[in-house]
Structure 1
Amino acid sequence: MDRRHLYGATFGIVGVLLAGVQLLHATEQTAVPIAIVVDGAPFALLGLSLSFAGYWLASSEQFEEYLPRIAAWAVGGTLLLASVAALTLFSQRVATGTLQRATYITADSITVGAVAGTVVGLYDAQSQQHRQKLEAERDRTEAFARKAADLNNYGRALAQATTVEEVSAYCIEGLSSLLSLSETAFVEVGPEDTPITSSTVSNSFESQLRSIARHAAEDEAVVAVHEGESVPADVASVLTVRLENTAATTGVLVAIRDTAEPISTEDEQLLELLASHASMVLTRLYSGPGQGRPDNR
């Protein structure tokens, strides 16, 4: 039994026990059905609400991280209300022969305290969960802002590039900085050949990188993640970024990743912006005289 089911079962059993105690106390105090319903049913339903909370906690993963916190609130509420009941009875100096009535009052207080503590615990767990989501969103926004600032610097550097080799170096550095990828290559996909201009990838992957780059150059997507049989062995996935231009040669950034998960929307937008900066520069370089990249279109 995992932790979630253990906590859920505990809440469920306690709820059933409290409901049973309330009904037992109601029948002990009177034999009138209406009196039993009025006196015992509300507290019995409160006890059963704990069982429902236990079923919910056992079947839902939403609050699994906060189960000890919810249980602590439930125990704290129970002890608090039980203490209040004990102090009240003591202050009233319960006389001999009224001990049974004292147990009824104590059981009522325990039931109410357990339910109140559980409700407060669930509310507290929701508050903690909401705070963590806000913190995660803040961290994500700050990370995006830092990456966007770095990309802006690479955009200015790309605008001043005078050779394809400089563009490839800036693109590799920018891609590695944005996604923390250490193995990246810049491949020029031409009508006949596919040279690798710059690379930090193992030489054993060169032929497969050329094949992936050519496939990416013919794809409509600017940013794509390749996995499965099309990537080298022992590689989770390969990321490609197509650099469109007006020449027959298409630049493609190829990066090896250690995960097959898709990249985030924010990272995809930043990569598309990097591709836009690099594409404009490549168009200028490929169209200029003496660059050695023929325009066969």
Structure 2
Amino acid sequence: MEYRSVIGGGLVVCGVLLGTLQALQYVRFPETAAVVLLNTVPFIFVAAAIVYTGVTIAIREEYDEYATLIVSWAVGGAVGFVAVFTLLTGTSTQDGLTLLLGAVDAGSAGMLAGLLVGLYDTQNRQTLATVEQFAQKLETLNNYGKVLNQSTGIESVSALCIEVVEFVLDGSGATFVIAENDEAYIVDTTLPDIDTGDLERAKRELHETEALNTVIDGAGFDKIRNEQPGETIAIRIPAGDATAVLVAVYYDIDDVDETNIDLFEILAAHVSTALSTVDTQRLQTEFMESI
């Protein structure tokens, strides 16, 4: 956070200085409207773009890890453009001030080009990191799915569900509920002070939605997390003659990551299969005992 603020602030200062220099250059060397339009105005926009990029980096947390990378591209671009400008004007007969101002213009353009490349590089790295994280979570979830299908009771299925929500899907807590014959009971929960009335209200909300589809912050969901800031998601899972409800709570965030919601629904599908297997085993056991 500290580096990001310093880097963003530094870019803002650079942009302001470059814009001020362009204004002073216009005052010191007044030109025709056409020259101003083609020479001064574009670099004013370049300076404004650098300021905007600096502010964006300073205020957006996703650049925490990549702020140094972006500014490295910017510095490299500025140095490269100035070096090329120096090579091209090395034998020029123009006065030193004119060459200096030209080098500043070249450096401004190079810095903006470097920032654009740095932002593009950052976007690619973030996308790759997201894909790799999703693949890793999906692999872990599928391994849990295999264990779920070997479960011999609802309690073990419930415990594994809550473990996945908290350790794989980054949840703050979870509750696993079984509803059967108009009655619902909590199998497992890691949420404090769960009120059965709030769960019943959430269950009714889920009853109106399609099974295995995530509902985000439905009616009464805020009560489940004791009205603390955050978001609550829940899903209805068919379980033979009964219905399971899995509730996950995320504190202090505005939106649950879309990737985690997709994985939440995949988890629900695994749970549905596991509960069907448990129900089948129960029926087989009852049948064998009746013989």
Alignment CA distance shift 1:44-1:80 (3 Å): farther
Deviation at 1:252, TM superposition (A): 0.7
The aligned residue for residue 102 of structure 2 is 112
Q: After superposition, where does 1:211-250 map in structure 2 within 5 Å?
A: 211-220=201-210, 222-226=213-217, 230-232=221-223, 233-235=226-228, 236-247=230-241, 249-250=242-243
The 2-side partners of 1:229 and 1:277 are apart by 26
Alignment match, 1:256: 249
Q: Name the residue aligned to 2:22.
A: 15
Matched residues in 1 for 2:21 and 2:76: separation? 14
For the 8 Å contact 1:9–1:55, the answer to whether it is kept is yes
Aligned to 2:47: 54
Alpha-carbon distance between aligned partners in 1 of 2:220 and 2:203, rounded to the nearest angstrom: 15
Match of 1:174 in 2: 164
Structure with max Cα Rg: 1
TM-score by length of 2: 0.72
Deviation at 1:157, TM superposition (A): 0.9
> Are the structure 2 counterparts of residues 156 and 69 from structure 1 closer, same or farther at C-alpha, using a change threshold of 3 Å?
closer
The structure-2 alpha-carbon separation of the partners of 1:290 and 1:150, relative to structure 1 and needing over 3 Å to count, comes to same
CA 1:214–1:75: 2 relative to 1, 3 Å: same
Q: Unmatched 5+ residue regions in structure 1?
A: 25-36, 90-101, 293-297
What does residue range 65-214 of structure 1 map to in structure 2 within 5 Å?
105-214=95-204
1:272 to 1:77, Cα distance in 2 relative to 1, 3 A: closer
TM-score by length of 1: 0.71
Unaligned runs of 5+ residues in structure 2 are 1-7, 59-66, 287-291
RMSD over aligned CA atoms reads 3.8
Contact 1:243 1:279 in 2 (8 A): yes
Q: CA deviation at 1:133?
A: 1.5
Structure 1 residues 212 and 206, CA gap change in structure 2 (3 angstroms): same
Deviation, structure 1 residue 186: 0.6
8 Å contact kept, 1:15–1:49: no
User: Are 1:80 and 1:113, in contact at CA under 8 Å, matched by a contact in 2?
Assistant: no
Percent identity, please.
21
- Give the direction of change, closer, same or farther, for the CA distance of 1:6–1:278 in structure 2 (3 Å limit): same
**Other-structure match for 2:63:** none
Corresponding position of 1:276: 269
